[in-house]
Structure 1
Amino acid sequence: MSPVDPAALSNDSTCSPSLDKFPFLPFLKFTANVVAIATLSRGQCGLSKGVTWYLVAMAGADQLVVVFQVVLQRVFYFHYSPECNIINTMGYVSVACSVWLTVAFTLDRTVAICLQKLKTRYCTEKGAAIVIALVSVLSVSTNIPWYFSYHPNYCLESYEFINSPVWAAFDWGHRILTPVVPFVLILLLNAVTVSHILMASVVRRKLRGQRNREGKDDPEMKNRRRSIVLLFTISVSFILLWMTQVVILAVQRIGGQYSMMRSSHYAIVLMGEMLQLFSSCTNMFIYAVTQKKFREEVVNTVKYRFMAILNFLKS
């Protein structure tokens, strides 16, 4: 592997302050995740406890992305070690946790819809808690090496990291695990889920002796449609918002065109980075659009908080 100038990789470093051009994003992201966590934690959204655990955990992981990759890295700059090392490492941890919790949620919904025998054992509150804990531990343990990849005095990847075959293998492995493998898994799981739902829908209509338009009154079909809309919207949002960043990373690593991506294609790089980070606040809006009960609970949560503050001021 030929030597590379460390400065040429500064765009790939998580210290990039490019989101200064989008000052509204930190506030939007932070507020959206706080509202999602507060609403879902009440447990009144008509969702099972296991699903609620996953959605709260995903919102929590997204909030960590906002804290470490937006607020601490792009609003408050840390240019020196060890603060920079810790913040950057936690940024990688939070992104990995957010991505793999999305995969875990997709798997949970696939099992619930397609594997009824396994559903009673896997799709439970306890099962969700175990999976969330496992994903969190693995996200931390697999990203600890990032702490040692930076220069001991400055917030730049060290010369040894850039030019070491071992570190190169680790870097490639990291890019494959987050988010290439999740892309593939989410697409496969969704394909299995769609196939099963279509087949089950045809069978159910035949058993009930109904026409297609009459099937809309079937409550079971309504529940399935709500589940698939929520699942697919989250999955499609994840794929679309990460796609630009994945393509940029592939070009940078396969073509070695780090400097070119920083100069002539700076707008594309900036857009990819913004979309990737924007994915950390989209789920709340997805819930609001696809789940009527969630919208009602958001209003109730805001009213409850407002009344609590008003009563406190009056006392």
Structure 2
Amino acid sequence: MAVSDLTVIVTAVILNRVAGIYFPFSFLSITPVCSLRSAINYGSIDCSTYLTVAFTIDRFIAICCPTLKITYCTRRMAMRIVGIVITSCCIKNVFLYFIYEPRYMVKNIPWFCNIKDMYFTSLAWTVYEWIFTILSTCLPFILILLPNVLTVRSILVANGARTRLQNRNIGKNQSDAELEKRKKSIVLLFAISGSFFLFNALYLITIMYVRIGNLTYASGSDFNNLPFVLNESAIMLQFLSTCINPFIYAGTQNKFRAELNNLVQHPWRLLLKKLKI
């Protein structure tokens, strides 16, 4: 999840937004590279989104389905799920490479990306666009919200049962290790899920507002146009979400902090080892 968030920052923020603003005539603006960047951008965002979905479902199974947990919540299964998510997101977004055409031709070199007219008139592309919108915005919200609701319900029931058992055993000072583990899992779960809802809600609202109202805005920066402002604000918050998630991992996961600490200290350990030799 941290790697996918970092990929969004590198591809969508640095190589796309920053490079597009400050280096508009670099090789990144050549049409084939521009088309590839678009596919990679959406693919990386989808990977980050659906890995959050996978994590939410994983925590739901770990907390609410003890029988399924034995076979599902394993390292091998996690590797498979990550592989499936990345492969599916790549397949879903690879078609975006073919929707662009050059805006200019300079010395037989195609520059910048314009969406082809057939993208707006072809039935196949219209169906793809709706599928793309549903899979990228609506479905993740449902797949995160529903397991979270069920997880909360299960925790409330379990906590009530544990409280009743502890009331019967008054005088026995027993630490509830399982409850502490659940609390840590819930903190991480709701921190990531809450961050996703908070920073992606505007994007979903914008999509619905534009689709239902059949609104458009001209290319370029028009800050007097409401759909443009909403769209750009939603994208900014979406990028901000991927920046915040790694800090959430570091703040809530002891193992993540330990590995990060080892990563920082490892070069210095090697240097000290070399100097001693």
Length-normalised TM-score, structure 2: 0.83
Gaps of 5+ in 1: 1-57
For residues 127 and 72 of structure 2, the distance between their equivalents in structure 1, rounded to whole angstroms, comes to 34
The yes-or-no answer on 1:167 pairing with 2:125 is yes
CA contact (8 A) 2:5 2:246 kept: no
Instruction: Specify the alignment match of 1:8 in structure 2.
Output: none
Secondary structure (helix, strand or coil) at the match of 2:184 reads: helix
Q: Which protein shows a greater Rg? A: 2
Secondary structure (helix, strand or coil) at the match of 2:247 reads: helix
The yes-or-no answer on 1:195 pairing with 2:153 is yes
Q: Which residue of 92, 108, 113 maps to 2:58?
A: 108
For residues 148 and 211 of structure 1, the distance between their equivalents in structure 2, rounded to whole angstroms, comes to 67
Identify if the C-alpha distance between structure 1 residues 144 and 251 changes in structure 2 by more than 3 Å, giving closer, same or farther: same
Instruction: Specify the alignment match of 1:186 in structure 2.
Output: 144
Q: Which residue of 117, 128, 135 maps to 2:78?
A: 128
- Superposed CA deviations along residues 171-218 of structure 1, whole A, max 9, x for unmatched, are 111111012101011000000001001101111222233699x99942
CA contact (8 A) 1:262 1:269 kept: no
Length-normalised TM-score, structure 1: 0.74
The Cα of 1:310 is off from its aligned counterpart by 6.0
What percent of counterpart residues are identical?
37
The Cα of 1:267 is off from its aligned counterpart by 4.3
Gaps of 5+ in 2: 21-27, 103-109
The yes-or-no answer on 1:274 pairing with 2:224 is no
Does 87-96 or 246-255 show the bigger shift? Answer: 246-255
Report the number of matched residues: 257
Instruction: Specify the alignment match of 2:106 in structure 1.
Output: none
CA contact (8 A) 1:205 1:215 kept: no
Identify if the C-alpha distance between structure 1 residues 65 and 207 changes in structure 2 by more than 3 Å, giving closer, same or farther: same
The structure carrying a bigger strand percent of its residues is: 2
The yes-or-no answer on 1:253 pairing with 2:203 is no
Map 1:1-315 to 2 at 5 A: 58-77=1-20, 78-152=28-102, 153=110, 154-209=112-167, 217-259=175-217, 262-264=222-224, 265=226, 266-309=228-271
The Cα of 1:296 is off from its aligned counterpart by 4.8
- Superposed CA deviations along residues 115-156 of structure 1, whole A, max 9, x for unmatched, are 111100011011111111111111111112111111144412
The Cα of 1:268 is off from its aligned counterpart by 3.8
Greater relative contact order, per chain length (Cα 8 Å cut-off, separation 6+):
1
Identify if the C-alpha distance between structure 1 residues 297 and 253 changes in structure 2 by more than 3 Å, giving closer, same or farther: same
For residues 131 and 222 of structure 2, the distance between their equivalents in structure 1, rounded to whole angstroms, comes to 23
CA contact (8 A) 1:103 1:185 kept: yes
For residues 79 and 168 of structure 2, the distance between their equivalents in structure 1, rounded to whole angstroms, comes to 40
